[in-house]
Amino acid sequence: SCDFYVSPARRSSGFRATTIMAVEFDGGVVIGADSRTTTGAYIANRVTDKLTPIHDRIFCCRSGSAADTQAIADAVSYQLGFHSIELDEPPLVQTAANLFKQMCYRYREELMAGIIVAGWDKRRGGQVYTVPMGGMLVRQPVSVGGSGSSYIYGFIDSKYKSGMTKEECLRFTADALALAMERDGSSGGVVRLAAITESGLERSVILGNQLPTFFSA
């Protein structure tokens, strides 16, 4: 992961430390996030939706400063919508990811935004691209982000296998997020999931008492 300096001024309002995740499968992607937005030690929004639609079959998962990521997502949605109308075709996920990268890299000193772009397009099917702080862009079959991600790298590395079905991916994502939320104080609330395929979009919510449980001392 990349280094970054967290300025104290940023913490005053709507700062989001988070756990976000996205997984590719044959025919689409599964994305997931927790739902906690904190300002300091107070939870400003316990039911946040961090899975933001950028286009009909393209979503982004937002972590970092709430203000920065909302502004970037709004700007990229506009640019992508315009581009799609010019093309008269649904846009590529790679295009969306590059738009995010261009903005995050150009303004890297001013922004605090870690974004995962995921979706489905006709050319390459389900794709996950990660744009962490600093503005790098790389495609990965599975990607995690946010402060809670540190706690689940081991789980991801050991449990991920290629060729999972949509249901297996949903279960895998829910488990990973539940584990991260258990250990990371800045993540919590409910688990929001979305599965994006050619035929459309399925969103679901797993409430606190329905989360998968694991060993706890």
Told to check if 44 binds other proteins by CB under 8 A, we report yes
Closest among 1, 49, 33 to 177, alpha carbons compared: 33
Nearer to other proteins, 38 or 197 (CB): 38
Nearer to other proteins, 86 or 110 (CB): 110
Judge whether 120 and 57 are in contact, CB under 8 Å.
Answer: yes
Place of tokens 């503005």: 135
Question: How many C-alpha atoms does 15 have within 13 Å on its Cβ side?
Answer: 17
Q: Which of 1, 6, 47, 204 binds other proteins (CB under 8 A)?
A: 47
Told to check if 48 binds other proteins by CB under 8 A, we report yes
Fill in the amino acid letter for 164.
M
Here's the x/- map for other proteins, 51-90, by CB under 8 A: it reads as --------------xxxx-xx--x----------------
Nearer to other proteins, 99 or 196 (CB): 99
Supply φ then ψ for residue 159, to 5 degrees. Answer: -95, -20
Nearer to other proteins, 94 or 140 (CB): 94
> DSSP of 148-213, one letter per residue?
GGGGGHHHHHHH--TT--HHHHHHHHHHHHHHHHHH-TT--S-EEEEEEETTEEEEEEE-GGGS--
Here's the x/- map for other proteins, 101-130, by CB under 8 A: it reads as -x---xx-xx--------------------
The length of the chain is: 217
Catalytic residue annotation: 18
**Residues near other proteins, by CB under 8 A:** 9-10, 12-14, 37, 39, 42, 44-45, 47-48, 65-68, 70-71, 74, 102, 106-107, 109-110
